[in-house]
Amino acid sequence: MTSPRKIVARTAGNRHGPITRLMSPGDLGQLLKPFIFLDYVDAVGDGPNFGFHPHSGIATLTFPLTFDMEHTTSSGQVDLVKQRGVEWVMTGGGIWHKARPLNGTQMQGFQTWFALPPSHELAEPSAQFLQPTNVPTAGPVTLLMGQYHNLVSQIAAPFDVCYLWVELQAGDKWTYQPVSQHNIAWTFAQAGQLVVNGEQLERELAVFEEGNGALEFKAATNVGFLVASAVKAPQELAMGYYSVHSSDERLAIGERRIKEIGATLKK
C-alpha cells in the first residue's frame, strides 16, 4: 500500500478586497509551472471591472462560477462568456484586454495564468471562448482544460495539463489519479471543508509533493474545489509587471510590443 502523497505547501493567499491571490510567479508558481498565478474573486454586487491592461508570454484561463462576463481585446474582438463557461486567451507576443462581469449578485470565479513555452511565448495572440454547453462534465467533475477519462477539452493548450472543477456533497469521496507523466499537482478548496490525503482544507490552496501518487478527497461538508496536475514546465520565469517569459531577452521583446499596442490604443 502506497503512503498518501504529502502536502508540501499550503496557503490561504493574500486577500485584497474581493480578490484573493493564491499563487504568483515569484512564489508557488515556481513549484507549479506552467501554473504560475491564481486569483479567486468573491464579491457581492457588480464585482470588480478589469479595464484595458496588457500581457505577454502567458495564457489566461478565466472560469466565472456565478456570473456572465464580457471580454474585449485590443484587436476589437468582443465576446460573452456565460457562467461556468471558459475564457481562454493566449497572449503570446502581446495583447491588451479588458473584462466586465454581468448578471450576477454574488460574483465568484477564478483566473489562472500559465507560462507559455518558448515555442508560443512570442506568437500571435488569440482568444477562445467556451460556453457552458461546450465545457465537458461527468458526475461531480467539470473539465476546464486537458483530458480526464473520456472527457476532452476543446482548448488546444501547448502544455500537458489536467485542470478540473469538482463539487461533492457532504460525505462523498472522490479519487484523482494523475496520468503517469504528470509530476506536479495542487488543489484549492473554494467552499466547504475538504479532506485530502488526511488533511483538512478550508478556503486554502495545497501543493502536493512531486510524483504521480493518487489524491484522495473526502467532503466533510458540501464542497467545491479546483484540482490540477501537469508535466512541470522546464523553463525559467523572467517576470515583468504584466508579462512572464522564459528569458530576460524575450521579456524585453514582449514588453516592447505591449507598449506599442498601448500607444496605438491611446490614439
> Can you give the pLDDT at residue 79?
87
Task: Walk me through the domains of the chain, giving residue ranges and CATH numbers.
Answer: 7-266 (2.60.120.10)
Kindly indicate the confidence band of residue 28, based on its pLDDT and cuts at 50, 70 and 90.
Answer: very high
What's the CA gap between 151 and 209, in Å, rounded?
26
The phi, psi pair for 184, rounded to 5°, reads -125, 150
Kindly report the length of the chain.
267
Tell if the pTM clears 0.85, that is, is over it.
yes
**What pLDDT is stored for residue 46 in this prediction?**
62
Confidence of residue 109 (pLDDT cuts 50, 70, 90): very high
Cβ atoms 211, 5 nearer than 8 A: yes
pLDDT confidence tier of residue 17, bands split at 50, 70 and 90: confident
Question: Whole-angstrom Cα distance, residue 179 to residue 118?
Answer: 24
In the predicted model, what is the mean pLDDT of residues 78-88? 92
Spatial distance between the Cα atoms of 213 and 185, rounded to a whole number of angstroms: 10
Q: Would you state the pLDDT for residue 49?
A: 65
Angle at 219 between CA 213 and CA 222, to 5 degrees: 140
Per-residue pLDDT tens for 129-164? 999 999 999 999 999 999 999 999 999 999 999 999
